[in-house]
């Protein structure tokens, strides 16, 4: 049929190029346009979309099932390097340029009703999504390296401190870690929420309440949390994580009609996999920001950056969570960490000794 032929043209294409009339100027506005744009001028079923706005703001939007950020970063780097090294496109006669052809679909009234329903449903969902952006430049990646601290560990610690400020508890947290060092490797999960981060959160809370927590004690709490996080990242990257292993066992059990395995029905296992803070970062100069929606109705979707200019986070939430308050607490937590790192008691030499 005509519709099938048109769909095949889309499915067989390498990617979708979306040319938008929108002109986002602020990160928060750009995040909404690039994340959903209310479904307008998008083909979300396509694995890869290049979105270019009228003011040259651009992004790569990709569906996650086929691959991970490592592949997209490689693509982004190639595009970025080409635009820097060859900033002017070659002049091509318009007669040789490909002429766009409109894809015509035959739409019945029933299908049109479904389209209207989908449009309204998406609008309702998009309207319920909040996006809050943090740009923090009091310190940066270079500063943390000079302090001999893992920038990623500090950022993850700040997320934990911010959440504890808000809820006085520790959330189930997901951090994506690439296992591309292995053949066919995809990702493993790092679990940033730990006893060490909880101890740090409680210690900073006690200090705010005037319970006599010394600066040296705060330094130790930060170092313990950073050290533990770095250990978790090393284990995940080298195939020593546990999440993917347990997930594989769960899939095997379900395939053998053994879905009633007590371990996978345990409340603690379900709580572990009800992700509250879902976090991911891409470290490359070719990408200014990255982001994604919450993984469930009760979660925070946090795409973050740690570079030599600033620390940044895109925080997406649904109504059950207050993303603006979280960002405010995140800034306060980073300020607290900075105060400790700037104290006379903190030295890199003592860091080495410990």
Residues with a catalytic annotation lie at: 64
Give the contacts of 170 (CB within 8 A, at least 6 positions apart): 160, 163, 164, 193, 197, 198, 201
Residue 12 has which token pair? Answer: 């067989």
CA distance 349 to 354: 9
- For 353, list phi and psi in degrees, rounded to 5: -65, -35
| End-to-end C-alpha distance for the chain, whole angstroms | 71
Q: Is 72 helix (H, G, I), strand (E, B) or coil?
A: helix
Dihedral pair phi/psi, residue 59, rounded to 5°: -150, 165
DSSP string, 233-288: HHHHHTT--SHHHHHHHHHHHHHTT-TT-HHHH-HHHHHHTS-SEEEEE---TT-S
């Amino acid at each position: 049929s005509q519709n099938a032929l048109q769909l095949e043209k889309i499915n067989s294409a390498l990617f979708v190029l979306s040319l938008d009339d929108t002109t986002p100027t602020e990160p928060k506005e750009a995040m909404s346009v690039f994340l959903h744009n209310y479904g307008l001028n998008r083909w979300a079923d396509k694995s890869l979309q290049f979105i270019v706005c009228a003011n040259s703001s651009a992004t790569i939007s990709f569906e996650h099932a086929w691959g991970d950020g490592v592949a997209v970063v490689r693509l982004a780097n190639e595009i970025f390097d080409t635009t820097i090294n060859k900033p002017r496109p070659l002049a091509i006669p318009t007669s040789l340029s490909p002429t766009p052809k409109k894809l015509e679909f035959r739409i019945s009234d029933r299908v049109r009703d479904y389209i209207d329903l989908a449009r309204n449903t998406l609008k309702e969902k998009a309207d319920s999504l909040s996006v809050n952006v943090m740009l923090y430049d009091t310190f940066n990646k270079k500063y943390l390296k000079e302090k001999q601290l893992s920038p990623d560990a500090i950022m993850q610690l700040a997320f934990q401190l911010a959440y504890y400020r808000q809820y006085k508890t520790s959330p189930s947290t997901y951090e994506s870690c690439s296992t591309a060092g292995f053949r066919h490797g995809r990702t493993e999960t790092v679990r940033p929420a730990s006893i060490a981060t909880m101890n740090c959160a409680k210690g900073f809370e006690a200090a705010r309440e005037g319970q006599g927590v010394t600066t040296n004690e705060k330094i130790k709490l930060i170092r313990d949390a950073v050290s533990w996080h770095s250990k978790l990242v090393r284990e995940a990257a080298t195939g020593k994580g546990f999440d993917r292993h347990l997930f594989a066992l769960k899939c095997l059990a379900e395939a053998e009609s053994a879905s009633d395995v007590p371990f996978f029905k345990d409340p603690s296992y379900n709580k572990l996999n009800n992700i509250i803070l879902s976090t991911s970062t891409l470290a490359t100069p070719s990408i200014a920001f990255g982001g994604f929606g919450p993984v469930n109705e009760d979660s925070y979707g946090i795409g973050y950056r740690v570079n030599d200019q600033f620390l940044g986070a895109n925080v997406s939430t649904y109504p059950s969570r207050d993303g603006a308050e979280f960002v405010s607490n995140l800034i306060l937590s980073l300020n607290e960490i900075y105060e400790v790192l700037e104290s006379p008691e903190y030295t890199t030499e003592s860091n080495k000794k410990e």
